[in-house]
Amino acid sequence: MSEYRKEEITDWYDQHSKSILSFILLMVKDYQQAEDLTHDTFVKAYLYHNSFNQHSSEKTWLFSIAHNLTVDFLRKRKPSKFFKEVFLLQRDNNSLPEEMIRIKEESSELYKALGEIKDTYRKVIVLRKIKGFSIEDTAKILSWSESKVKSTLFRAIPALKKQLIKEGYLDEKTI
């Protein structure tokens, strides 16, 4: 069983690691940390392989693990980030080098704007519109109801358009 599990996780890694890395990267905005969390996702998938009950695809299950690990990381990081920003008066506004982000969508403007909108909006846009997950799978990954996914996406798209206009990447007249 253990050898089969190793092979299956290795196959999943080959198929989904880049996609999971880009998803995590959009949330943490730190390439090294995104790589670590991607690695942790597959370690956790290996450790808890027996709990994968195939009610969803392995991709959905892996994204769910990645989402939960990333949220936990961000929760733990907030106090130190607050200290850094407030007391040391240093903000990390450096954008990620484009060559670090190897996703099929090459619009840096889109990713910059995504980084400026609410976290819940960003997650639902990335999962539904960029990664192509169904409403049902997105709900499973985020532990939301399907109606929350729909309503959040309904609000997220105009918020993203507004951010793109604000940053000068879209013209109000073209919308």
How far is C-alpha 6 from the chain's CA centre? 25
Report pLDDT for 165. Answer: 83
- Model pLDDT, residue 1: 53
Structure confidence at residue 83 (pLDDT): 42
The pLDDT of residue 138 is 93
- What is the rounded distance in angstroms from the CA atom of residue 64 to the CA atom of residue 140? 7
pLDDT for the residue numbered 173: 58
What pLDDT score was predicted for residue 101? Answer: 40
Q: Are 145 and 124 in contact (CB under 8 A)?
A: no
Q: Following DSSP, what letter does each residue of 116-158 receive, concatenated?
A: HS-HHHHHHHIIIIIS---HHHHHHHHT--HHHHHHHHHHHHH
Query: What is the predicted pLDDT for the residue at 141?
Result: 93
Torsion of CA 129, 31, 21, 10, to 10 degrees: 170
pLDDT along the chain (175 residues), means of 10: 82 94 89 94 91 85 93 74 42 43 51 87 89 91 94 91 80 58
Q: Which pLDDT score is estimated for 171?
A: 67
pLDDT score of 169: 67
